[in-house]
Amino acid sequence: MHRPVHPRNSQQPRSERALVGHTPPLVATDHLAFILFTAVKFVLALTLTTSAFLTATKAQNVTRDIPYAEPVNERQTLDIHAPAAAKELPVVFWIHGGGWENGDKTRVTDKPRAFMEKGFVFVSTNHRFRPHVPMEEIVRDIARSIRWVHEHIARYGGDPTRIFVMGHSSGAQLAALICTDDRYLKAEGLSLRFIKACVPVDGDTYDVPLMIATAEARRKERNQPEPKFGHRAKFGTPDRHYDLSAVNHVARDKGIPPFLLIHVAGHADTTAQARRLHHVLTAAGISATLFAGHDTDHLKINHHLGRSDDEATQTLFSFVATALQP
């Protein structure tokens, strides 16, 4: 059968012309509707996002990089996270970890949000680092920062007479020492009576000589060399090892606050140190609670603190609620 062949320049059928160069009115209308629908969705999403951002901004006030010492040093600063319209709220004073040689006050993960939701003002402090300053100067920085908080936190809605001192790792050592060796606060015109409780998290130097002896025995057993920047070097002479250990400053009738000692159950050194400080505190008649975190590690126990489903967080909030009771 002979099939007709269209000449090269002949007119194309209407259906082909529609596909190539023309859009039927119905298709054009649908296309325009789709564009309008997409635009409306975008504007709505942007509006909701902006509204959520503004709501979150109104819900809290964050003031950063406040100097607490003179002359101003970038490491001697603190941040304040306060709920909106805060007034006479208890204060969490947080000390970051980092081996006394690094770390920063901004590394607080969920903690500010979690504590503000519970009705706290959250303060996170920096301090100077060794080897630029000796260990004692770092402790003095913490005391200076607490003094600033005590003198000024009412402006931000905090109660200067209800301060909870907390810290992780090296910050745990600093927290424990500042809450047992009252000489540092006394040098700033303060006393321990303003400290409601202390929460050191997974520290390994509440008893520095014991930690050094444990580490050196382990190295000898494994035939390992002395580390260049170990605790012996960081803490200086044996007299300073003793003096920078919280366990050696615990005594009755000093006004030492209640302690919650959080540690990783699977970490031998921090477990031993937490138990050691717990024993010394309770022997002196001071309230102390141990919490061992399971299925976690040194970093996670800090990073997860503040999450509602975290067991250490639940224990912490129960502890502070008890400490706040008259």
pLDDT of 186-235, one tens digit each?
999 999 999 999 999 999 999 999 999 998 888 888 888 876 567 888 89
Q: Report yes or no on 43 lying in a domain.
A: no
Half-sphere exposure (Cβ direction) of 25: Cα atoms closer than 13 Å: 0
Task: Confirm whether 122 is domain-assigned.
Answer: yes
Per-residue pLDDT, 30: 54
Average pLDDT, the chain: 87
User: What pLDDT is stored for residue 175 in this prediction?
Assistant: 99
Read off the pLDDT of residues 76-98 as tens digits, 9 standing for 90 and up: 999 999 999 999 999 999 999 99
Cis peptide before 131 (omega within 30 of 0): yes
Which pLDDT band, with edges at 50, 70 and 90, does 62 fall under?
Answer: very high
Residue 250 is assigned to a structural domain of this protein: yes
pLDDT at residue 121, rounded to an integer: 99
Residue 262, pLDDT > 60, answer yes
Structural domain for 291, as ranges: 61-323
What pTM, to 2 d.p., does this model score? 0.82
Indicate whether 18 pLDDT > 50.
Answer: no
**Which tokens hold the place of 59?**
């819900």
Mean pLDDT to the nearest integer, 258-277: 98
Rounded to whole angstroms, how far apart are CA atoms 102 and 99? 7
Note whether residue 152 is domain-resident: yes
**What is the spatial distance between Cα 313 and Cα 85, in angstroms, rounded to a whole number?**
25
Evaluate whether residue 118 is within a structural domain.
Answer: yes
The pLDDT, as a whole number, for residue 223 is 84
Highest average pLDDT, of 18-22, 38-42, 228-232, 273-277, comes from: 273-277
Most confident of 54-68, 125-139, 225-239: 125-139
> Residue 196: which H helix or E strand, with range?
strand 195-201
Q: Is 58 helix (H, G, I), strand (E, B) or coil?
A: helix
Instruction: Count the Cβ atoms, other than its own, within 10 Å of residue 297.
Output: 13
Predicted pLDDT at 214: 94
Question: Quick one: pLDDT at residue 40?
Answer: 44
Task: List the 288-293 sheet strands across, edge first.
Answer: 60-67, 77-83, 121-125, 89-95, 158-168, 195-201, 259-264, 288-293
Asked if residue 31 is part of any domain, the answer here is no
Residue 66 lies in a domain: yes
Cα 130 to Cα 33, 75, 105: the distances in Å are 65, 12, 16
pLDDT of 28 over the 60 cut:
no
Residue range 269-286: average pLDDT?
99
CATH number of the domain where residue 244 is located? 3.40.50.1820
Between CA 222 and CA 233, with CA 228 as vertex, the angle to 5 degrees is 105
**Amino acid 60: pLDDT:** 74
Is residue 133 scored above 60 in pLDDT?
Answer: yes
Task: For the beta carbon of residue 317, count every other beta carbon within 10 angstroms.
Answer: 16
- pLDDT, tens digit, for every residue of 285-325? 999 999 999 999 999 999 999 999 999 999 999 999 999 99
Q: Give a yes or no: residue 50 inside a domain.
A: no
**Count of domains forming the chain:** 1
Structure confidence at residue 11 (pLDDT) = 43
- Please tell me whether residue 257 adopts helix, strand or coil conformation: coil
Question: Which pLDDT score is estimated for 228?
Answer: 59
| Neighbour tally for 29: CB within 10 Å | 11
